[in-house]
Amino acid sequence: MKTTPRLLTVLAVLMLCGCYANTVTSNQRIRKDGWLSTHANIRVVRETAVSDDLLRIDVEVENTLPFDTRFDYKFEFLDAEGRMLFGPTTGFRQEQVPAGAFVTITATATDPRAADFRLTLTNAD
């Protein structure tokens, strides 16, 4: 029975090593205005490293309103010192969310120096 704690420790370490995505449930890097500040819930933020160490961000946004709605969003990637990195994906995009549902919005940095991100959600109208 002495091997059980050791086995559990080894399994825990293997599980932690196998995870490449960092899931962030806090929305400190996400700015919302208008109706979005009260009716757009951020469910999950996932940070993943993809090909050649590019930062990929997936954000689940939930619409708590009883009707379909639209919002504009913009991802900005920052380097380790907090300076904004410009790329071809800079600018607002639009997304529609059905009533009571959620959508996943995604962006991948084009610069391997990207270490952090900022997301702005704003009214589409």
Residue 120 pLDDT grade (very low, low, confident, very high; cuts 50, 70, 90)? very high
Residue 97 located in a structural domain: yes
Residue 110's CATH number:
2.60.40.3230
Query: How many folded domains does the chain comprise?
Result: 1
Residue 3 pLDDT grade (very low, low, confident, very high; cuts 50, 70, 90)? low
Residue 9 located in a structural domain: no
Please give the model's pTM, rounded to 2 decimal places: 0.75
pLDDT in tens, 51-90: 878 999 999 999 999 999 999 999 999 999 999 998 776 7
Tokens at 40, concatenated: 């757009």
- H helices present in the chain, as ranges: 3-17, 36-39
Please name every residue paired with 55 in a beta bridge, in sequence order, or none if there are none: 49
- Identify whether the C-beta of residue 78 lies closer than 8 Å to the C-beta of residue 108: no
Residue 68 located in a structural domain: yes
What Å distances lie between residue 37 and 15, 17, 29, 41, CA to CA?
36, 36, 14, 8
Closest by CA to 116, choosing from 103, 124, 105, 107, is 107
